[in-house]
Structure 1
C-alpha cells in the first residue's frame, strides 16, 4: 500500500506540472536591438514561468527562414515587424515590444543636402524628395500609401551607395539605426537630418507557432504584468540603445509628419495607449 501511495503521489505531481517545456528555443542574439528584444522576452516570461531557460540558435537566419523555423517548430519564438502575412502564418503576441519605435523615422541624407532638408515644413515639401527603401520592407508600403515617392532595391547595402550617387534623396531609418550606419561608412559623404520626423504605427511583435497557444498566453500575460508594474518601461528606457537614440534624435525638436499604416491587422491594439511611445511624455 505504501508503494502504491508513493506511486500515486508521483503520478499526481507529474500531472500537475506544466505540459510545456521550460526551455525556449529562440533565434540567435546579434546586435543591440536583438539583445533588447530578448531582454524583454526574458522579463515577460519570468513573470509567468519563473524557471524558464532559453536556447539561442547557433545559426543566423534571414527573416523568411526564421518564419519557416517557427512554422516547423525548430524555433519557438521570433520577433519581427507586424504584417498580415506573418500574422496568418504564425501566432502574434499583439503587444509592440519596442513601443512602436520602428515607426519613428529620421533620415540619412547626403551631407551637401543638410540645408535643403532643414527647410522642410510641410508634407508637400517632403513629397518633393524621393526616399530609398528595401523592396520588400513592410514600411515601404506605408510610404507609398502616403504618396511619398520611393525608389527600392533588394539589397540593404546598396541603399547607401545609391543615396550617395543621387538615385534618391534620403533613407528613412528607425531612430536607433542611422548613427552606427553613417559612422561605419566614412568613405561615403552622408549625414543625418536634424529636422524631420515621420511617425506611423509599425509594431514589432513576438511570434510563435500557431499551435503554441500556451506560450503565446504566457508571454502576453507576462508583458501585461511588466507594463503594469513598471518593469517594462524601466528596462526599455534604461537600455543603452534607447537612451542613446532618444538623446541624439531630439524628437520633440523636429517637424513631425504622422502617416497612417493601412497595412496592419484590424486587431492591432491602437486603443492601448500604454503600449505605444508618446514623444510628448519624454
Structure 2
C-alpha cells in the first residue's frame, strides 16, 4: 500500500515537472497577421533560436488591442509584446533595447488621395508640411513626436479607420514606415489612395520587444539571442532578404526624395544610437 502511494506521488511529481518544462519552453505572443507582423514574429523566432533552440511560440487565441495587450503581459498571460517606444512603455515593462526593424519606423512616406500629389509637390520644408494635416493612431508613439514638432495631427483609436478618414478628406496624409504603405494601399483597392512620390519624413524611432517588468530571465534570453543574431549576420540576412523589405527599399527611391527631419525628444537616454549596425542607413542603400 505504501509502495503504491509512493509510486503515485512520484508519477504526480514527474507530471508536474514535465508540465513546468513545457510551459517554460513556450512563449505566448499576441494573435497577429499580415506581412509586417509576420516579419516581427520571424525575427523573434530567429533570436530565440539562438538563445533557446527548444522554445516554441504560441499565439494568443484572439488579437488584442494595445490596452488589453499591455494588461495581459502584466498578468503573465502573454510573454512578449512589441511596439514603438514611448515613455509609458519604458516605465511599465522591461525593454529589450535593440531596434527590431533597424529604426525603419522612423523613416516615413505618406499615403495620400490619388488626386492630391500636386499638393505635395510644393512641400520642401517642415514649415511647408505643417500646413497639412497628418492622420495617426491616438496611442501611437510617433503621434507624440509629430505633435512635439508642431505638425498638425488628426487621431483615431482604430487603425482601419485612418484609411477611410483619409479618403474622406478628414486629413491630408497618413505617414507610414517605408515597408508599410505599398501593401496597405494594394489591400484596399476600393479606396482612392496612393503612395506619395517625393517626401520622406525622418526621425529617430525604434520598435522594441517588451516583457513583464519582473521577467528578467526572458529579457536576458531575448537580449542574448538578438546580440548573437546580429554578431553572426543572421539578423541582417533575415531582414534584408524579407520580400516586404526588399520591395520597400526598391520602391522608395531614397535618393529622389526630399528628406524632412524632426527630433524625437522622447528617446530614452539608453537608446543605442552609438551602434550604427543596429540602424538603417538609407544613404548606404
TM-score (ref. length: structure 2): 0.87
Deviation at 1:181, TM superposition (A): 2.4
User: Partners in 2 of 1:193 and 1:245 — Cα distance?
Assistant: 13
Whether the 8 Å contact between 2:204 and 2:263 is mirrored in structure 1 is: yes
1:201 aligned counterpart, secondary structure: coil
Residue aligning to 2:154: 151
Whether the 8 Å contact between 2:36 and 2:180 is mirrored in structure 1 is: no
User: Partners in 2 of 1:65 and 1:127 — Cα distance?
Assistant: 34
1:68 aligns with 2:71: yes
Shift of the 36–151 alpha-carbon distance from structure 1 to 2, 3 Å rule, reads same
Per-residue displacement from partner, 1:15-46 (whole Å, max 9, x unpaired)? Answer: xxx9x922222222311122111111111121
TM-score (ref. length: structure 1): 0.88
Residue aligning to 2:90: 87
1:168 aligns with 2:171: yes
Shift of the 153–51 alpha-carbon distance from structure 1 to 2, 3 Å rule, reads closer
Residue aligning to 2:32: 29
CA RMSD in angstroms comes to: 2.3
Deviation at 1:270, TM superposition (A): 1.5
Whether the 8 Å contact between 1:118 and 1:193 is mirrored in structure 2 is: no
The unaligned stretches of length 5 or more in structure 2 are: 1-16
- The number of residues matched between the two structures is 269
Shifted more, 206-215 versus 120-129: the winner is 120-129
Whether the 8 Å contact between 1:95 and 1:269 is mirrored in structure 2 is: yes
Shift of the 43–185 alpha-carbon distance from structure 1 to 2, 3 Å rule, reads closer
Deviation at 1:135, TM superposition (A): 2.1
User: Partners in 1 of 2:272 and 2:259 — Cα distance?
Assistant: 22
Deviation at 1:234, TM superposition (A): 0.2
1:255 aligns with 2:258: yes
Shift of the 157–25 alpha-carbon distance from structure 1 to 2, 3 Å rule, reads closer
Deviation at 1:141, TM superposition (A): 0.9
The one of 207, 211, 217 aligned to 1:208? 211
Per-residue displacement from partner, 1:44-90 (whole Å, max 9, x unpaired)? Answer: 12111122222222221112111111111111111111111112111
Residue aligning to 1:237: 240
Residue aligning to 2:104: 101
Which aligned runs of 4 or more in structure 1 are off by greater than 6 angstroms? none
User: Partners in 1 of 2:152 and 2:185 — Cα distance?
Assistant: 23
1:218 aligned counterpart, secondary structure: helix
1:205 aligned counterpart, secondary structure: strand
1:107 aligned counterpart, secondary structure: strand
User: Partners in 2 of 1:154 and 1:54 — Cα distance?
Assistant: 28
The unaligned stretches of length 5 or more in structure 1 are: 1-13
Whether the 8 Å contact between 2:137 and 2:156 is mirrored in structure 1 is: yes
Residue aligning to 2:118: 115
Residue aligning to 1:189: 192
Deviation at 1:271, TM superposition (A): 1.6
